[in-house]
Amino acid sequence: MIYLDYSATTPVALEVQDTMNKVTREFIGNANSLNGLGIKSRNLLNSATKQIANCFNILESEITYTSSSTESNNLAIIGCALAYFKKGKHIIVSKLEHPSIYVICDYLKSIGFEISYVKNDSDGLIDFDDLKNLVREDTILVSISAVNSEIGIRQPLKMIRQIIKKENMGTVFHSDMTQAIGKVSVNMHDVDLASVSGQKIFGPKGIGFLYKSSMVKVTPLLYGSTKESLNPGTPPLPLIAALSKAVRLANENIEKKERFVTLLNNKITNTLGKYPNILFNKTKYSIPHILNISIMDVMPEVMVHALANHEIYVSSNTACSSGEVSNAVLAIYNDLNRAKHTIRISLSHVTTTEEINKFLEVFRNEYEKLSKLH
């Protein structure tokens, strides 16, 4: 099997699996209980949270555990909207967001919030002038992903924050960092809120967290016996301990891992670049882990299934919008046909050169066969 869909999800690292199994067996107490087993679990929970906080140079109290980035996005955006609606009902998002962001915005529109979509330039970067003009006195939130999930465009969050705060100090800045963590270095202090997922960094599915600056208010979406918590209930300790391990591993040698992935990316682009009907949907701001191509003379699902027959796994745009038009490709190239023919190849530091060689060999054979049928 050759797995090239790491941006959709990652396998659980063995060290992370071991941590999860050990905690499941040895820490059976509810971390909210006051008995000895509960205190033992609470101590481990505090230790895991401290380790994550240290990795990102944030406070332990600024971490709220969630089940996923989608839940983190909901808590951040809806929670922020509910906390600040008396100040205003205007929210700004980019045209390069994960589908979950747009669904949340559609809900907020239905209850009276106004959503503006900031433009991007031809390289996919946020149009700074447009952002500056969009921020108003009643703008309570801006949400812009750190790295786009389809084309891998990395946004300059620090610069975006400066523009937002200069126009309105009270506007909260949220970023979905799902595709950035473990791939490129990030600074949580560039934003006020950030969404993170464990399953994208070789951690288990069903766990993530929301970073919330202590300076920002968010209204809880769930209520329970732990009243002070943004996300009440029994903490899923095995998942949290596993997430902590995954975060620590993800942050190790991040620049070295990125350089290796760049070499793999270059190998693919150099080989596929000889085909005139294969277009690369990337700009100078795309990270190497995500390589999006449009195969203009083969439908993407046909190629995805053809590769799957050889146990090679890629995807058409994001896992959460498979089979649909790529919003990101449309936003940058303004070409509907190109946006309908996209395939996303997503790489990792655990991808091998041998796997890429095999992928290219199979791809070439399948493409030359399928393109003749066009």
- The residues assigned a catalytic role are 320
d(CA 196, CA 165): 23
Neighbouring residues of 5: CB distance < 8 A, sequence distance ≥ 6: 313, 314, 315, 319, 344, 346
DSSP letter string, 172-187: EEEEE-TTTTTTS---
User: Is residue 38 helix, strand or coil?
Assistant: helix
Which is nearest to 65 in space by CA: 110, 40, 38, 31?
31
Which token pair is 172? 């909260």
Q: What H or E segment, with its residue span, contains residue 248? A: helix 237-250
Q: What H or E segment, with its residue span, contains residue 34? A: none
Determine contact, residues 196/211, Cβ cutoff 8 Å. Answer: yes
Pairing mode, if any, of strands 2-3 and 312-313?
A: parallel
Which token pair is 108? 């907020």
Pairing mode, if any, of strands 139-143 and 342-346?
A: unpaired
DSSP letter string, 275-340: -TTEEE---TTB-TTEEEEEETTS-HHHHHHHHHTTTEE-BSS-GGGTTS--HHHHHHH--HHHHH
Which token pair is 77? 């955006």
Residue ranges of alpha helices (H) inside 94-174 are 99-110, 128-134, 157-167
Neighbouring residues of 135: CB distance < 8 A, sequence distance ≥ 6: 92, 142, 163, 164, 167, 168, 171
Beta bridge partners of 345: 291
d(CA 193, CA 213): 6
